[in-house]
Amino acid sequence: MVHSTHSSCLVWNQNPITVAGNGTAGNSTRSFNGPWDLSIDTNLNLYVSDGGNNRIIKFSSGNLVGIPLISGVGNGLSQVSNPSGSIMDANGNLYISDMLNNRIMKYANISSASQSVIGQVVAGGSFGSNYNQQKTSWGVAVDALGNVFVSDCGNNRVMKWAPRSTNGTLVAGIGNGTAGNGTNQLSCPLGIYVDQSMALYIADAFNGRIQKWLSGASTGTTVGGANGQLRFPTDVSVDNYGTIYALSGGGLYRFYPGSTSGTIIISSYTESFGFKFDSVGTSRASTPVASSKVASMAVPNVQGILEAVLGNARLRSLDLATAH
């Protein structure tokens, strides 16, 4: 376990180990075909959105053989179509962006699952630009009240869906789906993160920036990539200290509070789309959490970063090397 007082002290080993997938595209329980994202539960089990295989596959901690929990392309409650964004809430519920079905699925208490599971549609379900629809949904986040946030890439907006609602509410971007680079616009938002103050952080992919939208705001502020540093950001996370982590073509960047210029902390040579921090010990949230996108991440307990690497059809883990 690494103990530290600030995220700026953390340095990651640049030699990753493979924790799932064999590097060759395939549909066996040891392989992937285009993994987009992943989530981690409190037991460090992995849940991978294996997009090209149209399945969610679980890897128990330390096991390189997965168990398909949801598989088979379709729009049934036990099916998905090119699943992408993934998030685990503090209660062990898994949320998946079912991209080509234009919906968000919730799988309750997924940690106890050892075979096929049935999900629940909690946002969207049809293709379009109305507030009850999505168009190539991608990222997903959940707040402490159970509100589901969706980055609707095709509509260039982020929507919030309250529990049991049939329509979403616009929280970022322009409602009619117009793309742009203004402070009130987005262009294909991908990964998203919601902090404890309900501020929303958005990987604004085609604009090459990370945007922060305060709760209730009609415009966003660029908090990463203002100098053109981010070529195509795909995911974002924020720690307890306000330090922003953004995944872009060149690797994982760290942006300190107040600075829009970041430093690369993990180098990558392929396009990566999703990452999560795991945790060791007790987090600073009210309950232990395994994902940096659930409640409040305890930075001193961060042990590794996992990336869903599309081109290599594998997941990589990078452990902490030192704490300066």
**Per-residue pLDDT tens digits for 191-237:** 999 998 899 999 999 999 999 999 999 999 999 998 888 989 999 99
Q: Which amino acid is at 181?
A: N
34 or 9: which carries more pLDDT confidence?
Answer: 34
What pTM does this model have?
Answer: 0.86
Tell me the pairing of strands 137-142 and 148-152.
antiparallel
Least confident residue range of 47-61, 78-92, 278-292: 278-292
29 found inside a domain? yes
- CA distances 235 to 77, 205, 240, 276, Å, are 27, 9, 17, 9
Return the pLDDT at 314.
67
Could you tell me the residue range of the domain that residue 144 belongs to?
7-323
1 found inside a domain? no
Identify the three-state secondary structure at position 178: coil
H/E element holding 172? strand 169-173
Return the pLDDT at 159.
97
Domain count, the chain: 1
Q: List helix spans (H) across 177-282.
A: none
pLDDT of 304 strictly over 80: no
2 found inside a domain? no
18 found inside a domain? yes
- Averaged confidence pLDDT in the chain: 82
Return the pLDDT at 316.
65
- Write the CB contacts of 256 (distance below 8 Å, at least 6 apart in sequence): 8, 243
Please give the average per-residue pLDDT across 291-307, as a whole number: 40
Strand partners, 148: 142, 161
- Of the candidates 263, 265, 264, 297, the one whose C-alpha atom is nearest the C-alpha of residue 278 is 297
CATH (domain of 109): 2.120.10.30
Q: What is the pLDDT of residues 80-104, one digit of tens each?
A: 999 999 999 988 999 999 999 999 9
- Residue 13 near residue 6, CB atoms below 8 Å: no
Identify the three-state secondary structure at position 301: helix
pLDDT of 144 strictly over 80: yes
199 found inside a domain? yes
- Write the CB contacts of 12 (distance below 8 Å, at least 6 apart in sequence): 265, 266, 304, 305, 318, 319, 320, 321
